[in-house]
A and B are shown apart, each in its own frame.
Chain A
Amino acid sequence: MLATGTQTGGSVIRPGAFCGIIAYKPSYGHFPPAGMKANTEWLDTIGAYARSIDDIALFRAALMAIPYRPIEKLEKPPRIAVCFTHHKDELSREGTKAVMDVATALRKAGASVIEMELPSPVRDMTAGQKTLSAFDGPRAAADEARRAYSLLSPSFQVDKIAAGRKIDYATWAAARKLGETGRAAVDAMFSDIDVILTAPAKGEAPRGLERTGDATFNLLWTYLWMPCVTMPFAKGPMGLPVGIQLVGRCHEDAALLDSAGWVQGALR
């Protein structure tokens, strides 16, 4: 029916894509974070899962304590920019095909669909996101590290706690400033476009339960604080869901959900 998740790297959108459902990561700071255990303060965002975009709009209104406004039918198609990010080469064939097939279908439905690169500061944000996430590790988990270290998993001990201890203030501060630069640069793109069409994950859910997949196609949007929606589209070679992701302008979540509704309609 309805469920909440949280995203620091890709943890709302990617599992949504892997499981073939609709998932929504709002603009950073929109859902009140009180009571959420913090992972990385600069990134953590509560997100939502539902069976339809209409349900997402309803859930969003409740979680934000704002008046509910159902998805609106758009008068004209949104201006769409296909953006694979600078990690394009890491996208699976089925992931790329899903985005391109959707782009074709949306063009047929009357949307202007262009291809766009993100501004250059964003290239450094991949490393920046890892800096932010690592730095908070030993600090956010200072109590656990002090009183219950042996109860932390080895990966948490290494990837969060130990990694975070190696980062100096200047590197961390630079990563935060980079977020501001990146956000301003990407925001400026929205004078010419309404929504970004991209991949929600590298491809299908990986085999095995040891790893939950890669946040490569999520972490930039998380760091850019932009709202994201994933919806299912096709199946991959293992028969597992392959979806697409729509990313909107920061703070313009209602418009993103309206665009997502239009896209869904165009894909039927």
Chain B
Amino acid sequence: MKALSASEAAAAIEAGTLTSEKLVRACLDRIAASEPMVKAWAYLDPDLALAQAKAADMAKGGVLRGIPVGVKDIIDTYDMPTGHNSPIFAGKVPFGDAACVALCRTANAVILGKTVTTEFANRHPGPTTNPHNAAHTPGGSSSGSAAAVADGHVPLAFGTQTGGSVIRPAAYCGVIGYKPTYGDFNRVGIKMQCHSVDTLGLMARTLDDIALFRAVVLALPPVAIDRGVTAPRIGFCRTPLWDDASTDTKALLERTARGLAARGASLSDIAFAPAFTDILDDHGAITAFEGTRNYADERLRNPDMVSKELMGGSMKRGLEVTFDEYVAAQRKAVAFRVHIDSLFDRFDLLLVPSAPGEAPEGVEFTGDPRFNSIWTLAWTPCVTLPAGAGTKGLPLGIQLVGPRHADDCLLSTAAWVAANLS
């Protein structure tokens, strides 16, 4: 069975031409065949998955009627461990479901299993490889979710983003990643890293699936993609970090901008005000300061079970950021959001890089989140769309950023862009 999208599968299940059990069996078969190479799953119990599928078929209905979902392993599930890729939590089953997981189950989804995360969603990687080329990382920290969706294990998966951990791995794996407006998705049951920016995000292979999945997590009626939107006003924003992008990425963005303009989009270059050239530093100060404090229990009670990378990295850095520096960064972030809001007076969306380039070689380094962190700090919704491949044959994405609190519009204009990418 070709890997169906969630929307296709839901329609088939509603029509009675498919059952959740059949769909989940096909996913499990797919996983069994490719998992030795891809290693996307931190926890997968096929019997538990099938039991859920059978229950979903019996229950009938629900927005996600029997669709299997992958859950990043920093998100709680009452019937599966949440391991955080840390020996501290190995095998530990949480008390309850995270809000997003409970809302999926309320919508009659099947929680297929837990996808590999980097340690506490930081840098220390898991074993997952890029399905396009196993010699390359899938990115992180939502490594398993991106690989699982790319490789057809599940049509939908959760990721989280504090720096670039939804958009970047989605781009590296050639799937659609969506980071909503900060605050839209409830974070209960997701391990708290940086309370000022942590954002739950979604991965899928189609924008219709993202729209469906979004509705479930919001617990609001689905809003269909509007395919009648007119050509948008696009701001091509290279960002102050443009020189950190690979030749491939620069060429792709320039080509995309020209192509969309030729198809009727109004296109202008846009840059941040000079005051925000170093905004990445403010993101770094905030995430380091908050992260080391939210992880106080882990680093104080079990320092030997936290990777040296993390203990010596952002945990240590966070204690070196002074409170005054933190407050200054927070005030700058507020000003940055006002500035970014103002850009959307002239544009419907911004076109920006999804990542510096293709997925790096090896699995030790999950890639650089700089092209994502600025938007995570801006709290704006972002979508990465697959847009061809780089010189090594690995996926490249383009990122679209929309105004806050208008995510439905962003998804619809993203559909216009997707339809008009040559």
Task: Report A's interface with B, CB cutoff 8 A.
Answer: 29, 32-35, 37-38, 41-42, 64-66, 136, 138-147, 165, 168-169, 173, 176-177, 180, 184, 251
Contact = CB atoms under 8 A, between A and B. Distances in A.
Contacts of B263: none
A64 B323 contact: yes
A96 B50 CA distance: 64
A34 B192 contact: yes
Contacts of A169: 218, 220
A187 to B, nearest CB: 9
Interface stretch (B266-274, B287-295, B356-364, B385-393): B287-295
Interface stretch (B131-139, B168-176, B180-188): B180-188
A177 B405 contact: yes
A32 B187 contact: no
25 contacts: A29-B290, A32-B192, A33-B192, A34-B295, A35-B192, A37-B188, A38-B188, A41-B186, A42-B183, A65-B319, A138-B219, A139-B186, A140-B99, A142-B106, A142-B186, A142-B188, A143-B97, A143-B98, A143-B101, A143-B102, A143-B188, A143-B189, A146-B97, A169-B218, A180-B337
B290 A32 contact: yes
A204 B418 CA distance: 62
B78 to A, nearest CB: 7
B195 A66 contact: no
A140 B96 CA distance: 12
B195 A29 contact: yes
A38 B183 CA distance: 13
> Lowest 6 CB-CB distances: which A-B pairs, in order?
A142-B102, A34-B294, A32-B293, A143-B102, A34-B192, A173-B405
A140 B195 contact: no
Interface of B: 78, 96-99, 101-103, 105-106, 181, 183, 186-189, 191-192, 195-196, 218-220, 290, 292-297, 319, 322-323, 327, 330-331, 334, 337, 405
A251 B293 contact: no
A142 B217 CA distance: 10
Contact of B293 (A38, A64, A165): A64
Q: Which of B78, B188, B219, B334 has the most CB of A within 10 A?
A: B188
A205 to B, nearest CB: 31
A177 B297 CA distance: 34
Contacts of A147: 78, 96-97, 102
Given A34-B191, A140-B188, A65 B102 contact: no
A168 B221 CA distance: 9
Contacts of B292: 65
B390 to A, nearest CB: 37
A143 B96 contact: yes
Contacts of B331: 251
Given A146-B105, A173-B405, A140 B186 contact: yes
Contacts of B102: 142-143, 145-147
A33 B405 contact: no
Contacts, number: 94
Q: Which of B99, B106, B187, B191 has the most CB of A within 10 A?
A: B99
Q: Which of A29, A33, A143 has the most CB of B within 10 A?
A: A143
Contacts of A176: 183, 405
Given A146-B102, A168-B220, A32 B186 contact: no
Contact of A41 (B96, B183, B294, B405): B183
Contacts of A142: 97, 99, 102-103, 106, 186, 188, 219
Contacts of B220: 168-169
A65 B78 CA distance: 32
A132 B24 CA distance: 37
B76 to A, nearest CB: 9
Contacts of B188: 37-38, 41, 139-140, 142-143
Nearest to A254: B323
A143 B78 contact: yes
B191 A38 contact: no
A138 B216 CA distance: 12
Contacts of A42: 183
B320 to A, nearest CB: 12
B62 to A, nearest CB: 12
Contact of A136 (B101, B186, B323): B186
Q: Which of A42, A138, A177 has the most CB of B within 10 A?
A: A138
Contacts of B181: 173
Contacts of B196: 29
Nearest to A169: B220
B296 A38 contact: no
A146 B296 contact: no
A33 B192 CA distance: 8
Contacts of B103: 139, 142
Nearest to B328: A251
A47 to B, nearest CB: 16
Contact of A65 (B96, B186, B296, B405): B296
A241 to B, nearest CB: 32
Contact of B96 (A29, A139, A144): A144
Contacts of B191: 34
A118 to B, nearest CB: 19
Nearest to B76: A143
